[in-house]
Amino acid sequence: MVQTTSIARAKDGCQISYGVYANPGSPRLALIHSLALSGAMWSEVIAQLAAAVEILVYDCRGHGQSERRPGPYSVELFADDLAALFDSCGWSSATVAGCSMGGCVAQAFAAAYPQRVRGLALIDTTAWYGPTAPKDWKVRGARPAESGFPSMVEFQLSRWFSDSFRDSHPEVAEQATQIFLANTPACYQAACEMLGNADLRMAVRAFRMPVSVIVGEEDYATPVAMSQQLYESIPNSTLSVIAGARHTTPVECPLEIAGFLSDLVGKSAAASR
């Protein structure tokens, strides 16, 4: 499993840090991370899949090792960033998987570049956060500037992971905490406001690629009802609920997520023949 790490430039020149786990001739899979985390959240999923799939993983603008360019952000802007990464890698298309914020970006990418998406995995995510979302996300986005990221850690950990997972994997919770604490308030606020403004409800109805909707049973950030709405809105989709898991299932349940993604990659390859 060999990873090459590179920097690509988005359409507006923003530098995006990415890695490719090369596996020439194999099906391709792009992975998009959650709000305030980074591509590192996919490490255990990648370990399960890299022998059979070629993988692109990256840090969204304003996150991780990518440029901390200020907002405003939009899911369409983030979708264009992924298109620039595909171009940089020489990828015409791939199966695309996104978790939480990454799932919103994946939906926007599939809406703007349907010919580049062989299959779509929408994990712990939604097409729309509801009528009060712009106000709610604006308030949440302002918290780091007001009280600092450390004040939010307990809130985040309890959303991301079940209590039993946190107890049994303290090192994983600590790694996620350190990535979260390394964020900048302005970029976090821009990303929060992006999610508050996102409304992909009409876009998803046009999807015709295979779509796998996956959610943790105890996810109260994007509850099972939101995934149910995605499933009912997307013609060629499946819905899977992971028992006992919360909002960041690629970290909490990497074996299960890798299995779902492997199945989707196979289904996507068959559909494109």
**What pLDDT is attached to residue 236?**
85
Strands 15-21 and 3-9: antiparallel
Name 7's bridge partners.
17
Question: Is residue 2 within 8 Å of 22, Cβ to Cβ?
Answer: yes
Please state the domain count of the chain. Answer: 1
* Residue keyed to tokens 């996104």: 98
Which residue type sits at 106? A
Q: Note whether residue 187 is domain-resident.
A: no
Which residues in the chain land under pLDDT 70?
A: 1-3, 272-273
Kindly write down the DSSP assignment for every residue of 45-96, as one continuous string: HHHHHTTTSEEEEEPPTTSTTS--------HHHHHHHHHHHHHHHT-S-EEE
pTM of the model: 0.98
- For residue 153, CA distances in Å to 135, 160, 162, 178, 243 come to 22, 10, 14, 10, 24
The CATH number of the domain where 123 resides is what? Answer: 3.40.50.1820
Q: Can you give the pLDDT at residue 1? A: 54
Q: Is residue 165 part of a domain?
A: no
Domain that holds residue 47: 3-128+199-271
pLDDT one-digit tens code per residue, 153-208:
999 999 999 999 999 999 999 999 999 999 999 999 999 999 999 999 999 999 99
Question: Would you say residue 242 lies in a domain?
Answer: yes
CB 205 within 8 A of CB 127: no
pLDDT tens for 48-57 read 999 999 999 9
Domain-embedded: residue 152: no
Does residue 10 belong to any structural domain of this protein? yes
Instruction: Check residue 256 and give its pLDDT.
Output: 98
pLDDT value, residue 152: 98
* 134 part of a folded domain: no
Identify whether 94 is part of a domain: yes
- Residue at 136 is within a domain: no
